[in-house]
Chain A
Amino acid sequence: MEFKNAKYVKDYMDEEKKTEPYISISCTVDGRILSIPTVVGNRYYDEAMKQVKAGTLTIKDAD
């Protein structure tokens, strides 16, 4: 998978969610616009984390 323009998204609208700052990753994957939940076991999230660990993908912080 080729991730581009990867950026974390916060659920900043919900006060109670402040303990979970990143709820998804916005990016394009192979040309598709995706919003990937930060859920271990999701094949996109797992692959993103693998590429981050390998140093081949950088995910920008949330705005």
Chain B
Amino acid sequence: MSKAAELAALIANVNNGSSLAAKNFIINGNMNVAQRGTSTTGLGADGATYNTADRFCHSLGNTAGRFTSAIIADGPSGFANCLKLSCTTADTSVAATEYFHLQHRMEGQNLQSIAKGTADAKPITASFYVKGNASATYVAELYDADNTRQISKTFSVTTSWSRVELTFPADTTGALDDDNALSLQLAIHLHDGSNFTSGTTNSSAWASATTANRGNSSATSFFDSTSRTFFLTGVQLEIGEKATEFEHEPYEATFRKCQRYYLKRQAGSAYSYWGSGHNASATAARLHQNFPVEMNHIPVLETTAADTFYAYSIDTVALSDVPTINNPSVWGSAVTFPTGSGTLTAGRGANAIARDSTSAYLAFESEL
């Protein structure tokens, strides 16, 4: 796009209600943040899991297909990283109920400027860069979880990076809730059974969700071959009918946004400290963890095994069980480190440290 065309698109979108800054509703669209790790193999079991790129969810059901999700140093000009999905087990006998959707879930209070469900509703445009091992066609869907409404559009993938630009019309029906819960998701359908494809793709206007109209019968199945790959980066969703240049932001800005949903504190050395607290009893040390940003909702605690931690009060004490969450809020939580052995002195100061393990971590998760 020429600079003049880019400026015209930007002005058109601003006139439609978009912002010059913070215009992208997608968090981590350039795949720069991967707190959980940069590669996970053997994915494909039923469920919705976050494994590599922060904020991007692998949602699967009923398929025998398996894949690897990875963040790799590849991308079109201006992008250092992308999400690469590689099929490792094919599934060519596709049952009606099967699906694999790559989702980005957004909370309603961040989407009020779209004015969805009002007479002033705005069109929105999704854009992203894709490539694959071969030509393919997939479906991108916007799904309104508050009002069970949706709209889908197909897009093409080639073996070279190309930018997909999809404009979705305004929807004057179904306001998005002004709260912290899931309201809207952008989903890329990579594999759909006939339950999703037996109707006619609902592509021209938002409508009450009918499962059969969410996919497309001509779309490619990501699980059709073990040579199948799908690369994605530069994901943007903005107000307006034009896709404007991807909004790059400082790493720490994206990182902070991601921490609202997942916050990982990994040992930086073999005996890293996680902060201080006290011995709540003779058999447990307790620390308080403050969160750098308010989390989306009260989180769960994710940890490594008990033998990757010590309670430390005067001396190191092995844990008898895994750490547990205690009286959490959206801004912080106590974490209890049980020792079981009765060797601690209640009330005395305590720490928790890694037990000769750089893989040890505490993480708090409040994904939508």
Instruction: Name A's B-contacting residues (CB within 8 A).
Output: 1-2, 9, 11-14, 23-24, 26, 30, 32-37, 39, 41-44
The reply to whether B336 and A13 contact each other, CB–CB distance below 8 Å, is: yes
* A42: B residues at CB distance < 8 A: 297-298, 300
* A43: B residues at CB distance < 8 A: 367
The reply to whether B322 and A37 contact each other, CB–CB distance below 8 Å, is: no
The reply to whether A33 and B300 contact each other, CB–CB distance below 8 Å, is: no
Known A13-B284, A34-B302, A39-B298; contact A23-B47, beta-carbon cutoff 8 A: no
Considering the chains assembled together, what is the distance between the CA atoms of A32 and B324 in angstroms?
Answer: 13
The reply to whether B304 and A33 contact each other, CB–CB distance below 8 Å, is: yes
Quick check: which of B224-232, B246-254, B325-333, B348-356 contacts chain A, the rest being far away?
B325-333
Considering the chains assembled together, what is the distance between the CA atoms of A43 and B261 in angstroms?
Answer: 13
The answer, yes or no, to whether B49 is at the interface (CB within 8 Å) is yes
* B305: A residues at CB distance < 8 A: 33
The reply to whether B298 and A33 contact each other, CB–CB distance below 8 Å, is: no
Chain A residue at minimal CB-CB distance from B322: A33
The answer, yes or no, to whether B301 is at the interface (CB within 8 Å) is yes
The reply to whether B298 and A13 contact each other, CB–CB distance below 8 Å, is: no
The reply to whether A35 and B325 contact each other, CB–CB distance below 8 Å, is: yes
Considering the chains assembled together, what is the distance between the CA atoms of A9 and B322 in angstroms?
Answer: 11
Considering the chains assembled together, what is the distance between the CA atoms of A1 and B367 in angstroms?
Answer: 14
The answer, yes or no, to whether B286 is at the interface (CB within 8 Å) is yes
Known A1-B47, A13-B280, A14-B280; contact A24-B324, beta-carbon cutoff 8 A: yes
The reply to whether A36 and B326 contact each other, CB–CB distance below 8 Å, is: no
Which of B49, B300, B326 is within 8 Å of A11, CB to CB?
B326
Nearest chain A CB to B319 CB, angstrom units: 12
B residues 346-368 touching A (CB-CB < 8 Å): 367
The reply to whether B280 and A35 contact each other, CB–CB distance below 8 Å, is: no
* B298: A residues at CB distance < 8 A: 37, 39, 41-42
The reply to whether B47 and A34 contact each other, CB–CB distance below 8 Å, is: no
The reply to whether B325 and A24 contact each other, CB–CB distance below 8 Å, is: yes
Chain A residue at minimal CB-CB distance from B336: A13
Q: 20 A-B contacts, Cβ less than 8 Å apart?
A: A1-B47, A2-B47, A9-B324, A11-B327, A13-B280, A13-B283, A13-B284, A26-B321, A30-B47, A33-B302, A33-B304, A34-B300, A34-B301, A35-B300, A35-B301, A35-B323, A35-B324, A36-B325, A42-B298, A44-B300
The reply to whether A37 and B300 contact each other, CB–CB distance below 8 Å, is: yes
The reply to whether A23 and B280 contact each other, CB–CB distance below 8 Å, is: no
The answer, yes or no, to whether B303 is at the interface (CB within 8 Å) is yes
Considering the chains assembled together, what is the distance between the CA atoms of A12 and B47 in angstroms?
Answer: 34
Considering the chains assembled together, what is the distance between the CA atoms of A26 and B322 in angstroms?
Answer: 8
* B286: A residues at CB distance < 8 A: 13
* A2: B residues at CB distance < 8 A: 45, 47
Nearest chain B CB to A51 CB, angstrom units: 13
Which of B304, B323, B325, B367 is within 8 Å of A37, CB to CB?
B325
The reply to whether A32 and B302 contact each other, CB–CB distance below 8 Å, is: yes
Considering the chains assembled together, what is the distance between the CA atoms of A18 and B45 in angstroms?
Answer: 39
The answer, yes or no, to whether B289 is at the interface (CB within 8 Å) is no
The answer, yes or no, to whether B198 is at the interface (CB within 8 Å) is no
The answer, yes or no, to whether B59 is at the interface (CB within 8 Å) is no
Chain B residue at minimal CB-CB distance from A9: B324
The reply to whether A33 and B303 contact each other, CB–CB distance below 8 Å, is: yes
* B303: A residues at CB distance < 8 A: 33-35
The answer, yes or no, to whether B197 is at the interface (CB within 8 Å) is no
* B280: A residues at CB distance < 8 A: 13-14
The reply to whether A37 and B328 contact each other, CB–CB distance below 8 Å, is: yes
The reply to whether B326 and A24 contact each other, CB–CB distance below 8 Å, is: yes
Q: With A13-B336, A24-B325, A37-B300 given, can you name 9 additional A-B contacts, CB distance below 8 Å?
A: A23-B327, A24-B301, A33-B303, A33-B322, A34-B301, A34-B302, A34-B303, A35-B300, A39-B328
* A9: B residues at CB distance < 8 A: 324
The answer, yes or no, to whether B281 is at the interface (CB within 8 Å) is yes
Chain B residue at minimal CB-CB distance from A45: B300
The reply to whether A30 and B49 contact each other, CB–CB distance below 8 Å, is: yes
